[in-house]
Amino acid sequence: MLLSKDFLFGFATAAYQIEGSPAADNRTPSVWDTFTHDTQAHHIADNSSGDEATDHYKLWKEDIQLIKSYGANAYRFSVSWSRIIDFTGGAASNSDAQGQSQRDPPNKAGIQFYRNLIEELVKEGIAPCLTLFHWDSPQVLEDREFGDLVKHWITLNEPWCYASLGYGYGVHAPGRSSDRAKSPKGDSALEPYIVGHNLILAHAYAAKAYREEFAPTQGGTIGVTLDSVSYIPYDDTPESKAAAQRAYDARTGWFADPIYKGHYPASLHSVSNNALPSFTEEELAVVKGSSDFFGLNTYTSNLVRDGGSDPLNGKTKTTFVRPDGTELGMKSHVPWLQSYPEGFRLLLNYLWKTYQKPIFVTENGFPVKNENSIQPIEEAVHDTDRIEYFRGYTNALLEAVNKDGVDVRSYFAWSLLDNFEWADGYKTRFGVTYVDYKTMKRYPKDSVWFLKEWFEKHSSAH
């Protein structure tokens, strides 16, 4: 079974999770700097931050050589808005003589860092795939600075997570929630939907600007990356089947339906208690069709049945346990992720049939149970459970493409490096490269050689 000649294979990262150097070259704090440094609130499992992360800001050339040695032809990364925009002037300096608000100027040193990174990737034959917003804080600049080299653009990464985890559950920055034990401010019933609505608009107008101003001469594509679980009915009852669809609507359809179909899912209006804002006709004309592809981050599957009170989960109950008491698959280090390759194939088919857009798998990976405590490092790199996960999921992708006719055009493993895993801090490792956080030395794990061999075997370009 083969992949297309232009299939993108590589690894994914995010700026805050790997870069470190939070004050270098005029960088200013992001919401995640503020969130992680609020140590009294204990937002992060190990009270850590991304201040050092994996020191990628200093070690980026070494990391590019790793990517090259891993046989990748593409690399997905994000830019930090706190690094590319100069926010040091303050509000007073951002007004003209008439008091009108002005854009903050670019931070040339930060832009040069990404320019150097991108040029090095291109020199090594690795296609840069750039995410504009991976949970830092946005504006519009990259297309002008990097568009001559970057042909694959992603506007937003996982808007459901940003809206729900940041403004509903309060477990991600900026940590707003109705739960006053977590946050003094916030409205979990309303704010996620307002944030989500504006994220959709931000994506759509960014895509419009790129298509009109840059794509005609630069020839790139632009789209959004959404996260999705594979939602499988718990049993064959109509109630479980309806619940599985409702779960899709609340997670994926919330953003995908407006972008690809031009409207919110019908079930989401009732589940949200009509908290969804409305699009104007002018806005809908920009939103519908604003993504050239379906960017997909996916890790696991859930069995779904009716019940539950959480609107952000479609008012459903989800589990890994089948009616007969057996579990879906291999357990990982985090409670929300079990391996189930069959679910990945089902998900790819569902998205292809529902939205009829080429699918770019932009994240997929597995944290080995207790990997952080495995010593010595020479033992930790033998990550057999991660290999088993990748073997199942890459085979499911091949079957979806070759047997089911699904148009899948990329596979990016999460992640290139062990890194700062948001609320988990450094306790959870997803990387195909082991990072010794004391020395920042990198050690390739066995799983990366499995992935390299898989791509070499199945790429029709070889």
Element (H, E) at 222: strand 221-227
Strands 316-319 and 301-306: antiparallel
Beta-sheet strands, E only, within 7-117 = 8-12, 74-78
Torsion angle of the four alpha carbons 234, 235, 240, 244, in this order, in degrees rounded to the nearest 10: 50
Q: Look up residue 198 and give its two tokens.
A: 């504006």
Question: What number of helices (H) and strands (E) belong to the chain?
Answer: 17, 13
- The three-point CA angle 324-326-332 to 5° equals 155
Q: Look up residue 262 and give its two tokens.
A: 């031009």
CA distances in angstroms from 221 to 207, 227, 252, 361, 449, listed in the order given: 9, 20, 21, 15, 30
CA distances in angstroms from 19 to 61, 101, 173, 415, listed in the order given: 12, 31, 18, 14
Q: Look up residue 76 and give its two tokens.
A: 């997905």
CA–CA distance, 69 with 90 (Å, rounded to integer): 44
CA–CA distance, 412 with 410 (Å, rounded to integer): 7
CA–CA distance, 247 with 310 (Å, rounded to integer): 11
CA–CA distance, 340 with 328 (Å, rounded to integer): 6
- What residues contact 134, with CB distance under 8 A and at least 6 apart? 14, 15, 16, 78, 157
Contact 81, 137 (CB under 8 A): yes
Contact 287, 259 (CB under 8 A): yes
Q: Look up residue 86 and give its two tokens.
A: 């100069």
Element (H, E) at 435: strand 433-436
Element (H, E) at 233: strand 230-233
Which residues does the annotation mark as catalytic?
A: 158, 363
Contact 251, 267 (CB under 8 A): no
Contact 122, 130 (CB under 8 A): no
Strands 8-12 and 74-78: parallel
- The three-point CA angle 224-409-129 to 5° equals 50
Q: Look up residue 98 and give its two tokens.
A: 């008439």
